[in-house]
Amino acid sequence: MKKPAMVLLLLALNSGANAEVFCVADGDALQDALLAAEANGEDDEIRLAGGATFISPGFTFDFRPEEDHDHILSGGWESGQSDKCSTQVIDPESSVLDGEGQRPVMFMNSVNSGRITVQNLTIQNGFSTGASGGIRVANAGPVSVEGIIVRGNQSGEFDAALDVFSMDEVLVAGNLVAENKCPNSVCGLGVLANLAEYPETPKIFIVHNTIVGNLADNPDFASGLIVGGNNRALVANNVIVDNAGADVSISLAAIVRNNGWGTVARLTTPDVSGTVLLGDPGFVDAAAEDYRLHPGSQLVDAGADIDPNYLPVLSLDGLSRINGPAPDIGAYESQRFVFSDGFENGNASQ
């Protein structure tokens, strides 16, 4: 995948007096931090060093918090002698959790009410003979998954890549889920959120994701996006294409706005507008796994205006999320600059 042309350095916010921050640079330290954060009586933030690959020899990274506290796992942190995880580089490829094709990468399971957040990292090469080869986040409380890459994971049954389960609000925003494989369904992104009482407004927000090239051996199943549960969802500004079988299955009430996708296995909601059925989405170079949009793509400036609380501030490559009259569809924002002669850069024909 093409590396981003530039990144943005962000100074870390204060975590608060009742939060513990872990700065980790290898797989053993990561698992130690996950274990320590399970029951330390406070909110936790686990910061992964940038430029590092996290491998868990012989086991899957496992997190099972026992208390009602918030937990953040994020990557791209500078960890040198003079900067111990106080500065973050927005580049999800900077911190990579790798299953080496031998084991699932990560399980995060909680029956508590605190929020679990995963940001700015890559989950890759996970393998499971059963379900969930990549990352599974299951929480009684809210879940946020923002700005991560999940690629090249495989399962022997279903749920190959990114699976989210919650009994509260779910936000899945600005992620790339690509080239994962499973025999049945949910090879890409699966979201199941059951609320005790059916909500009047959406509590699931699936926005600005790129879900592409996920492969289900069974053509009767959707292998891109599957959404279900006793809930309502906003599904907006996603590009979901080139997944084996169907691209999309949505089996709950949803507001569906301005997505670009191919085939649909199930769509129970009548509230659909602005969504485009795609042939060629106009990626820069899909064969090289560069899923940014070419400036001539019909998905450029085609996104819906959504609540800023759920709109990613930055695109997946760390650049401004809106660079035109409207956001682009998908995880990336086409960066176009107009020169004094009136011509724009980024045109592959020039």
The CATH number of the domain holding residue 140 is 2.160.20
Kindly state whether residue 331 falls inside one of the protein's structural domains: no
The number of distinct structural domains making up the chain is 1
Share of the chain above pLDDT 90, in %: 73
What residues contact 188, with CB distance under 8 A and at least 6 apart? Answer: 160, 161, 162, 177, 180, 211, 214, 223, 224, 225, 240, 243
The domain in which residue 168 lies consists of 20-293
Give the pLDDT band (50/70/90) at residue 336. low
3-state helix, strand, coil in the chain (%, to 5): 5, 40, 55
Residue 227 has pLDDT above 80, yes or no: yes
Does residue 344 surpass a pLDDT of 60? no
pLDDT reported for residue 183 = 86
Degrees (nearest 5) of the Cα angle 162, 234, 297? 80
The identity of residue 23, as a single letter, is C
The segment with the largest mean pLDDT, out of 84-88, 156-160, 180-184, 257-261, is 257-261
pLDDT cut 70: percent of the chain above it? 89
Q: With 50 as the cut, is the pLDDT of residue 5 above it? A: no
**341 within domain boundaries:** no
pLDDT at 16: 47
**Average pLDDT value for residue range 24-44:** 96
For the segment 275-283, the average pLDDT, to the nearest whole number, is 86
Q: Which residue do the tokens 């890409």 mark?
A: 188
What is the overall mean pLDDT for the chain?
Answer: 88
Domain membership flag for residue 338: no
Which whole number is the average pLDDT over 294-320?
A: 92
Type of residue at 123 = I
Contact between 152 and 176 under an 8 Å Cβ cutoff? The reply is no
Q: What is the pLDDT of residue 82?
A: 58
Q: In which region does residue 196 sit, left (phi positive, over 0), alpha (psi from -120 to 50) or beta (all else)?
A: alpha
4 inside domain: no
Q: Which pLDDT score, from 0 to 100, does residue 323 have?
A: 87
271 in a structural domain: yes
- For residue 269, the surrounding DSSP H or E stretch is none
| The predicted structure's pLDDT at residue 11 | 43
Predicted confidence at residue 157, as pLDDT, reads 83
DSSP state of 328: P
pLDDT band at 176 (very low <50, low <70, confident <90, very high): very high
**Closest listed residue to residue 56, CA positions, set 104, 108, 128:** 104
Residues 234 and 208: beta-carbon distance below 8 Å:
no
Q: What pLDDT is recorded for position 84?
A: 76
pLDDT in tens, 134-149: 999 999 999 999 999 9
Average pLDDT of span 214-228: 88
Who wins on pLDDT, 88 or 83?
88
Query: Model-level pTM?
Result: 0.91
The arithmetic mean of pLDDT across residues 59-80, rounded, is 93
Count the neighbouring beta carbons within 10 Å of the beta carbon of residue 271. 11
DSSP per-residue letters across 155-213 = ESSS--SEEEEESS-EEEES-EEES-EESSS-SSEEEEE--SS--SS--EEEES-EEE-
Residue 4: pLDDT band (50, 70, 90) is: very low
Q: Could you tell me the CA-to-CA distances from 39 to 56, 63, 113 in Å, in that order? A: 21, 11, 14
Specify which residues 205 forms β-bridges with. 171, 234
**Average pLDDT estimate for 116-126:** 97
What's the pLDDT score for residue 343?
44
Region 193-218: what's the mean pLDDT?
93
Question: Which stretch of 15-19, 240-244, 282-286, 293-297 has the lowest confidence by average pLDDT?
Answer: 15-19
pLDDT of residue 14: 43
CB atoms within 10 A of CB 92: 28
Greater pLDDT, 83 or 302 = 302
Residue 205 is assigned to a structural domain of this protein = yes
Please indicate, yes or no, if residue 326 is contained in any of the structural domains.
Answer: no
Residue 1 has pLDDT above 60, yes or no: no
Residue 7 lies in a domain: no
Any idea how long the chain is? Answer: 350
What's the confidence (pLDDT) of residue 346?
41
